Amino acid sequence: MRDPDGLIARAGVRGDPDRDQHFLVDDRVLDRLPTYLEAIDADTSHLLEIGGGTGALTDRLLAVGDEVTVVERDRDLAEFLREEFADEIAAGELTVIEGDALAVDLPDFTASVSNLPYGVSSEIAFRLFPEKKPLVLMFQQEFAERMVAEPGTSEYGRLSVSSQHYADVELVESIPKEAFDPQPAVQSAVVRAVPREPDYTVADEDFFLRFVKAVFTQRRKTVRNAIRNTAHISGLGEPDAVVEAADEELLRKRPDAMAPAEFAVLAGLAWDVGEPET
């Protein structure tokens, strides 16, 4: 395997915290990341990596995947990856896409393992979730804890409901700052997401996620008041009609006590009687 520090030296770059560039340099962590896919017997025939950096993780993914596509927005780093992995590219094993992961066309990948840029990690995660593929993604620790949080805990919120709508999410490893160069200000964590259909149905997925977002802007209020106070966010034309149709027990709860399936019930009512914008 290529040495992470050697890759940085050959690239002639330094990570830039202001641009979310923290290179993962701990060999043990790098070696473990692909194993979180292997543990669930995921299809590794085409792996996607967001934020390739200098290629330390790319190198590990090439060892387990038949094909790897890496997306890198930094022009100099993308060029370095093309030079460093010229043989793998020539063999058809690696494709380097230069561009913003939120804007480029993604390939038909089978799974993703990525050390995400923290500033846009939420946006990237929710671009990947609807693809319904296994994901092993690195986030800030606090963000990861919110993704996997259970109802009734202080960490539970919109991010928890939205993530768990798409997949079984699990925090599989916490990563110390010392594993990166330069060191970030916070600890990191790895989340594994295994796609599955939720145990409830929603009439319109975009509206469901918008409704959850709206209600959680008033997490300290009762659900009754949150629905009425956030119609400008959820797009409900008749929030009072939703309140009148909903079960009193649900309406008395606070949003952070509601399971995803309970949000689905309320969102279904809101879709049916609340006259939402479409």
Annotated binding site: 22, 24, 51, 72, 100, 115
Per-residue model confidence (pLDDT) at position 16: 77
Q: What is the pLDDT of residues 163-192, one digit of tens each?
A: 999 999 999 999 999 999 999 999 999 999
Per-residue model confidence (pLDDT) at position 18: 73
pTM: 0.95
Rounded Cα distance between 54 and 196, Å, is 33
Alpha-carbon Rg for the chain, nearest whole angstrom, is 21
Annotated binding site for S-adenosyl-L-methionine: 22, 24, 51, 72, 100, 115
Residue that is written with structure tokens 């079960």 in the block: 247
In three-state secondary structure terms, 190 is strand
pLDDT of 71 over the 80 cut: yes
The continuous run of DSSP H or E covering 7 comes out as helix 4-11
Per-residue model confidence (pLDDT) at position 14: 85
Q: What is the pLDDT of residues 13-59, one digit of tens each?
A: 988 777 778 999 999 999 999 999 999 999 999 999 999 999 999 99
Average pLDDT, the chain: 96
Q: What is the mean pLDDT of residues 149-171?
A: 97
pLDDT exceeding 70 applies to what percent of the chain? 100
Those residues with Cβ within 8 angstroms of residue 137's Cβ, 6 or more apart along the chain or in another chain: 112, 113, 114, 116, 121, 125, 128, 190, 191, 193
